[in-house]
Amino acid sequence: MVLGKASSSSLSMKSDEDVVNNNNNLRVLVVDDSPMIRKLHDMYLKKFGLEVQVAENGKNAVELFRFGASFDLILMDKEMPVMDGAEATKELRAMGVKSMIVGVTSLDSPYEKQVFMEAGLNYCFNKPLIADNISFLLQELNKNNNDKN
Amino acid sequence: MDVVNQMQRQFVDYSTSLHREGILDDQFTQLQKLQDENSPDFVVEVASLFFEDCEKLINNMARALEQQGVDFKQVDASVHQLKGSSSSIGAVQVKNVCIAFRSFCEAQNREGCLRCLQQVTHEYSLLKNKLQTLFRLEQQILAAGGSIPVIE
Chain B contact for A47 (CB, 8 A cutoff): yes
- The shortest CB-CB distance from A35 to any of B30, B49, B83 is to B49
pLDDT at A119 (0 to 100)? 96
Chain B contact for A115 (CB, 8 A cutoff): no
pLDDT in tens, B12-27: 999 999 999 999 999 9
Residue B51 has pLDDT above 70, yes or no: yes
Q: What is the mean pLDDT of chain A?
A: 84
Nearest CA in chain A to B88: A128
% of chain B with per-residue pLDDT over 70 = 99
Interface contact flag, B49 A47, Cβ < 8 Å: no
* A106: chain B residues, CB-CB within 8 Å: 80, 83-84, 87
Nearest CA in chain B to A43: B34
Is residue B119 assigned to a domain? Answer: yes
> Coil, strand or helix: which one is A80?
coil
* A47: chain B residues, CB-CB within 8 Å: 34
pLDDT at A106 (0 to 100)? 79
* Residue B91, domain CATH: 1.20.120.160
Nearest CA in chain B to A126: B84
Measure the CA–CA gap between A106 and A32, rounded to whole angstroms: 12
Measure the CA–CA gap between B120 and B97, rounded to whole angstroms: 6
pLDDT at A110 (0 to 100)? 86
Measure the CA–CA gap between A7 and A3, rounded to whole angstroms: 11
Please report how the helices A131-148 and A35-47 are oriented relative to each other, as an axis angle in degrees rounded to 10. Answer: 60
Q: What is the mean pLDDT of chain B?
A: 93
Residue A14 has pLDDT above 50, yes or no: no
Interface contact flag, A79 B77, Cβ < 8 Å: yes
- ipTM of this complex: 0.85
What are the strands, taking DSSP E only, across chain A?
Answer: 2-3, 27-31, 51-55, 73-77, 100-105, 123-126
CB B35 within 8 A of CB B42: yes
Interface contact flag, B81 A34, Cβ < 8 Å: yes
Chain B contact probe: residue of A47, A76, A106 with most B CBs at under 10 A: A106
pLDDT at A24 (0 to 100)? 64
* Model confidence, pTM: 0.83
Instruction: For residue A16, name the pLDDT band (cuts at 50, 70, 90).
Output: low
Residue B1 has pLDDT above 60, yes or no: no
Nearest CA in chain B to A35: B49
Is residue B152 assigned to a domain? Answer: no
pLDDT at A109 (0 to 100)? 78
Task: List, in sequence order, every residue forming a beta bridge with A100; answer none if it has no partner.
Answer: A73
Listed by start position, the domains of chain A span 30-148
pLDDT at A23 (0 to 100)? 66
Q: Give me the mean pLDDT over the A42-65 stretch.
A: 94
Least Cα distance to B11 among B116, B96, B129, B134 occurs for B134
Chain B contact for A128 (CB, 8 A cutoff): yes
Q: How many Cβ pairs closer than 8 A exist between chain A and B?
A: 45
Q: Give me the mean pLDDT over the A47-67 stretch.
A: 94
Residue A64 has pLDDT above 90, yes or no: yes
Least Cα distance to A3 among A130, A138, A109 occurs for A109
pLDDT at A2 (0 to 100)? 42
pLDDT at B66 (0 to 100)? 95
Is residue B138 assigned to a domain? Answer: yes
Radius of gyration of chain A (CA): 14
Strands A27-31 and A73-77: parallel
- CATH fold for the domain made of A30-148: Rossmann fold (3.40.50)
Least Cα distance to B40 among A23, A144, A122, A43 occurs for A43
Neighbours of B121 (CB within 10 A): 17
Interface contact flag, A127 B81, Cβ < 8 Å: no
Neighbours of B137 (CB within 10 A): 19
- Half-sphere exposure of residue B59: CA atoms within 13 angstroms, side-chain side: 6
Is residue B33 assigned to a domain? Answer: yes
Query: What's the total number of domains in chain B?
Result: 1
What is the residue type of A137? Answer: L
Neighbours of A130 (CB within 10 A): 18
Instruction: For residue A20, name the pLDDT band (cuts at 50, 70, 90).
Output: low
pLDDT in tens, B86-118: 999 999 999 999 999 999 999 999 999 999 999
State which residues form the domain around B125. Answer: 1-144
Residue A89 has pLDDT above 70, yes or no: yes
pLDDT at A6 (0 to 100)? 42
Interface contact flag, A37 B31, Cβ < 8 Å: no
The phi, psi pair for A31, rounded to 5°, reads: -115, 110
Cα–Cα distance list, A131 to A10, A47, A127 (Å): 14, 9, 12
